[in-house]
Structure 1
Amino acid sequence: MSEMQIETKLGISAQAFKDGMASLAGAVNIVTTLDQGEKVGFTATAVCSVSDSPATLLVCLNRNASVYERFKNASTLAINTLAKGQDGLSNVFGGKAPMQERFNNGEWQSLQTGSPVLADAAVSFDCQIIHRQSVATHDVFFCEVLAIKQTDNAGALLYFQRGYHHLNANAV
């Protein structure tokens, strides 16, 4: 039996929080935009549904991230939820590879806003950024969904306990 760790509000360290968050499984996404005509993107698990009327998602981006300056004034973005087996693509966009090199991986297209959409993503949400809020170390982008593209039976790429996990489309 594993030992349960309990932290109180006054005793929560950044490491304890990170360790706790490792147990919160999250879909792996590549968030993209265009900055002065150049494709820009990063890997994120901090994506969440806000509302279905109007369809709204949020994305969190650390202000210390190398891509932050490229996203801070963006008016649109696309959230590309990765499919089963796209671990390598996640690693490229989550690392320090130059932007051009990142987008040399995968097939990219656009929907309504022009933000890069991954052709074989499990689902892509093409969005207009409607609000930004700074909280602690991150900016939260609230994004109204203008178009959606889905790939049937793509499965899902999840991040849990600091590693990738694959979910089949027909898993029960």
Structure 2
Amino acid sequence: MLDPKAYRDAMSEIASPVHIIATDGPAGLAGMTVTALASVTDQPATLLVCVNRQSPSAPRFLKNKAFSVNSLGAADQKLADIFAGRTDEHFAEKFTHGLWRKGATGAPLLEGALANFDCRLIEAKDVGTHHILIGEVVAVARRDEGAGLLYHRRAYRRSDDEL
């Protein structure tokens, strides 16, 4: 069996865009920083995101059946840290940072994000330690300017920096 640390070390060599996923609904408000995200198809527009099952926020994403993906700009490192759990703020407290509005699904959308994807959860699959959340995108918004925030070799970088 492959050593999990060796796998994580190898994955750290892949520069990944940084996103905040967020949800709100009957189970309550929650959000977290993620890098494990991929487009599935554009007809219908669908994406997937991976969430650790041990996260206290994970059940809220499943029960609310809606989530947003908010792609962060280079200036959003502080927000990325807050939603990654590197502060003592939890659940709704995290949303006192940044400007948020409700999307069509009820999921919070970050004003000023490089891109917003408002998603309806259509499937969740457990693989290993994570839930794979598959969302049908019901609305998008994007900004035409600004560098993106990347995570590479366990550090934040700007998308316009040399890696």
Return the match for 2:21 from 31, 39, 49.
31
Deviations 1:62-103, CA, capped at 9 Å, x for gaps: 111121122222211000010111000000000152223210
- Report which stretch shifted further, 93-102 or 105-114: 93-102
What's the CA shift for 1:37? 7.1
Deviations 1:97-148, CA, capped at 9 Å, x for gaps: 2223210100001221110000010000001111111111111011111000
Structure 1 stretches lacking a partner, 5+ long: 1-9
**Counterpart Cα distance in 2 of 1:92 and 1:28:** 13
**Counterpart Cα distance in 1 of 2:79 and 2:89:** 11
**Counterpart Cα distance in 2 of 1:129 and 1:38:** 15
Equivalences, count: 160
**Counterpart Cα distance in 1 of 2:129 and 2:64:** 19
Change (3 A) 1:123 1:42: same
Amino acid in structure 2 at the alignment position of 1:126:
D
Return the match for 2:90 from 98, 104, 111.
98
Deviation beyond 6 Å, 4+ runs, structure 1: none
Partner residue, 1:123: 115
CA RMSD of aligned residues (A): 1.7
- Report which stretch shifted further, 46-55 or 94-103: 94-103
Greater Rg, structure 1 or structure 2? 1
Amino acid in structure 2 at the alignment position of 1:86:
D
Partner residue, 1:164: 156
